[in-house]
Structure 1
Amino acid sequence: MDLRDSPEEARFRAQLCAWLEENIPADPEPAMLAERWPYMRDFQQRLYRSGWIALSYPTQVGGQGLGPMEEAILSEELGRANAPTLLPLGHLGRPLLRYGTDEQRRRYLPPLLASDEIWCQGFSEPEAGSDLASLQTRAVRESGAWVLNGHKTWTSYGAFADFCLLLARTDPDVPRHRGISAFIVPLRTPGVTVRPIVLANGDEEFAEIFLDDVRIPEANMLGRPSDGWRIAMDVVNYERGAVETGYLPKFERYLFELAAVARTRAREPDRATLLALGEVAAALEVLRMHCLRTLSDRVSGAPPGPESSIDKLLMTAVEQKLTALSLGLLTAATTPGRAEWFDRYLYGRAGSIYGGTAQIQRNILAERLLGLPRSPG
């Protein structure tokens, strides 16, 4: 793979950079999610109206008909420009595009991609987090409808969403991975209760969703009965990928910030600090190389697969090394920027859990990439 921009890609990058220079909000991103959400949504809608979102989606559903290279360039330049965080929508559009009927794609994809309608994913439950196959939410076909009962938790941005891509068990008599189906659930449907989860920092990024005899049309099943596990794996494979998420430029910016702090503390930083910075730089370079390999596969037409678990493990390692190093460098409570870095540190700890724990990621790699046997226990 030639890592240099083609002439077309260089033009695309230059046009994007010019647009970002003119359109990055002057006001800083609000600290609290209640204020940050409309700020993020407004910026994403402006990106969409200017043709910079949904780049690799077909034009028939509101996309730009481009490819993964343009998506990667967008992620890079958004990160370099320190642009507002984008809403987590792209990975939820993929299953609609792949498994949806023509009517579902026409109805749901254009407003999803435009951020006019917000989606969340209803996967995790109180007793089914990383072990997703343990989910207990049930869907029963009844008089031309599906009736759902259950409880979802840790639903990202659930309090702000209009629709939920939800997994429910439709066949309890088959092996647990095989009896799960996927549904499109409007969250204003009678019987749905959304309860925000208030985090230690006051944000309501997550929510619980309770379903009590919720009736949705039969047409709201996505894919076929028992396609839910396959659909869920597609979602998380896109969700875990560093290529689409702009992590690389963000982490590079973090590293430059910490290197600048080290230089201000001493003309010649101590050996331990230099070694710690070098260790983070090396981990970041490993992540960058892996992302380029992933991008090469994507350009060749390969969809994301279980190797996205490598992305997740490497991203988590880099983020946690960076943020742990910041605590050592920004020791005084009054140091400018320390509070922001401490928030980053706390959030980075969750990287070992969200989207599937680090242990689950290693199991996926062992079993699905390396072909290792399961342990007898």
Structure 2
Amino acid sequence: MTLTEFRATVREWLADNLSGEFAGLRGLGGPGREHEAFDERLAWDRHLAAAGWTCPGWPVEHGGQGLDLDHRVAFHEEYAASGAPARVNHFGEELLGPTLIALGTPEQQARFLPRIKAVEELWCQGYSEPGAGSDLASVSTTATLDDSGDAAQWVLSGQKVWTSLAHVAQWCFVLARTEPGSRRHAGLSYLLVPMDQPGVEVRPIVQLTGGSEFNEVFFDGARTARDLVVGEVGGGWATAMRTLEFERGAATLGQQVGFRRELDALVELARSTGALEDPLLRERLARARLGLEVMRAHALRTIGSARDASVTKLVWATWHRSLGELAMAVRGAAGLVAPGDSLDEWQRLYLFSRADTIYGGSNEIQRNIIAERVLGLPREARP
């Protein structure tokens, strides 16, 4: 099927199916708004799965359509352009699934991939900690092997933070230190841990926007099977970095369609309020448009490149945070007052986009990675 035919097929299916019980889901969900119609969006994801539209980029032998990069980009762009709701299965489909396909054992693939594709099990990511945000090499959560029973198990102790959607997830992929006394990148392992068990406590973190999609997760004697390590025991750093590469893949092009929609709406707001007559605001809006075009061109040129993953994150996070600031400038004094007990869309954009340059690897960490691993500059002094 040609790319044009494929886009038409996706567009037609979405138009036909975003109707009836799903018609009211358009535009709902996404970062800062994951609380919106969550159960209904879960039902939508399962509807997608039944029609074969989940995991389209996975290899055919693992249940996907085996789409090439151009077709994957087309799918994500058409999905975003249709106004379809934000997916609830991102961590499973876009992060863990590809990691298991690349590095998992046949047994792990058979156990987890079909359930991810069918949206039967949801996942969260156990990376950041109170003392190890973007610096994952400082992870202190431990996992000790207990082989005293019939089946050996890893026993986890520690705390994760900023764990998105942990309160609705059945499983978590956790970066933990499995070699006592190890430091930095050495001695870490990538474990698959069930959330519904004694020894796992999830506490929501209330955000400035009023939502609580981020969580603290405490492991106090939580257990998982010995064979639920992805990659080598002690080689978790390499597995975790592979996951981060997948996080910044084809789906980011769909994300940029959403950015374009936000910018278009902001331009219309500026036009309707007269703010567009201000030459400084007009220039900032023009620069935002140019920045968006540069962002898309860069993504298309470098997608799938591990070397450029940090650049991609740095570019979109900084651009989107600036868009939130620009929205407040366009709103003017009216943007300082919330309507009733809730925020309007521009206030929510401003407040939540402050986090864009922090979660998923802070701007400071991305710059260090670019400087040290891409440009070969001297390492930053560390204690």
TM-score by length of 2: 0.89
1:166 is paired with a residue whose SS is strand
Unaligned runs of 5+ in 2: none
Q: Does 1:23 align with 2:17?
A: yes
> CA contact under 8 A between 2:200 and 2:220: conserved in structure 1?
yes
Does residue 37 (structure 1) correspond to residue 38 (structure 2)? The answer is yes
Compare 89-98 and 268-277 and name the one that shifted more: 268-277
Which amino acid letter does the alignment assign opposite residue 192 of structure 1?
Answer: V
The answer on 1:343 being equivalent to 2:357 is: no
Partner AA of 2:95 in structure 1: H
User: What are the Cα deviations for residues 280-334 of structure 1, in whole angstroms up to 9, with x where unaligned?
Assistant: 0111111011011024xx4xxxxx4141111111101221222211112223258
Displacement after TM superposition at 1:269 (Å): 2.3
Query: Does the CA contact (< 8 Å) of 2:138 and 2:183 recur in 1?
Result: no
Find the aligned partners of 1:12 and 1:368 in 2 and give their Cα distance: 38
CA shift in 2, pair 1:193/1:266, >3 Å: closer
Change beyond 3 A, Cα 1:158–1:66? same
Which position in structure 2 is the counterpart of 1:113?
117
Contact 2:77 2:257 in 1 (8 A): yes
Note closer, same or farther for the CA distance 1:77–1:32 as it changes in structure 2 (3 Å cut).
Answer: closer
Q: Which amino acid aligns with 2:168?
A: F
What secondary structure does 1:350 align onto? Answer: coil
SS in 2 for 1:167: strand
How many pairs are equivalent?
364
Query: Contact 1:57–1:65 at 8 Å: present in 2 too?
Result: yes
> What is the one-letter code of the residue matched to 2:56?
L
Structure 1 CA distance for aligned equivalents of residues 338 and 155 of structure 2:
55
Deviation at 1:276, TM superposition (A): 0.9
- What is aligned with 2:376? 371
- Partners of 2:200 and 2:218 within 8 A in 1: yes
| 2:144 aligned residue | 140
Aligned positions of 1:130-279 closer than 5 A: 130-143=134-147, 144-241=152-249, 243-244=251-252, 246-266=254-274, 269-279=277-287
Residue 335 to residue 226, structure 1, CA distance change in 2 (3 Å): closer
Give the match's secondary structure for 2:9. helix
1:268: how far off? 6.8
- Give 1:34 deviation, angstroms: 4.1
Farther-moved stretch of structure 1 (108-117 vs 327-336): 327-336
Residue 363 and residue 269 in structure 1: after superposition, are their counterparts in 2 closer, same or farther (change >3 A)? same
Task: State the partner residue of 1:82.
Answer: 83
Please tell me whether residue 99 in structure 1 is matched to residue 80 in structure 2. Answer: no
SS at match of 2:377: coil
- The one-letter amino acid of 1:285's match is E
Name the stretch that deviates more: 117-126 or 254-263.
254-263
3-state SS of the aligned residue for 1:149? strand
**Cα deviation, residue 242, structure 1:** 6.4
Q: What is the CA distance between 1:275 and its match in structure 2?
A: 0.4
Q: Is the 1:133–1:177 Cα contact (8 Å) retained in structure 2?
A: yes
Residue aligning to 1:324: 325
The superposition leaves residues 166-188 of structure 1 with CA deviations (integer Å, 9 ceiling, x where unpaired) of 11101133442011001110111
1:14 to 2, 8, 13: 8
> Residues 282, 35 of structure 1: CA spacing in aligned structure 2 closer, same or farther, 3 A cutoff?
closer
4+ long deviations beyond 6 Å: 334-338
Report the Cα distance in structure 2 between the residues aligned to 1:267 and 1:286, rounded to whole angstroms: 25
Q: For residue 152 of structure 1, report the CA deviation from its aligned partner.
A: 1.2
CA contact (8 A) 2:209 2:352 kept: no
CA separation of 1:228/1:205 partners in 2, compared to 1, >3 Å: closer, same or farther?
same
Asked if the contact 2:56/2:67 (under 8 Å) is kept, the reply is: yes
Q: Deviations over 1:184-217 (max 9, x none)?
A: 1011132222222232333220122211222322
Stretch moving more, 356-365 or 239-248: 239-248
Determine if contact 2:178/2:189 at 8 Å carries over to the other structure: yes
Rounded to whole Å, the distance in 1 between the matches of 2:343 and 2:352 is 14
Compute the displacement of 1:117 (Å): 0.3
C-alpha distance in 2 between matches for 1:267 and 1:329:
6
Question: Which residues of structure 1 form unaligned runs of 5+?
Answer: 1-6, 299-303
What SS does the aligned partner of 2:83 have? coil
Output one character per residue of 1:52-91: Cα deviation in whole Å (capped at 9) or x when no partner.
2211112332212222222211111122122211122311
CA distance in 2, matches of 1:195, 1:172: 28
Distance 1:196 1:335, change over 3 A: closer
CA RMSD in angstroms comes to 2.3
Counterpart Cα distance in 2 of 1:43 and 1:293: 32
Give the 3-state SS of the residue equivalent to 2:157 in structure 1.
Answer: strand
Letter in 1 for 2:162: W
Write the letter of the residue equivalent to 1:359. E
Q: Which moved more, 1:304-313 or 1:331-340?
A: 331-340
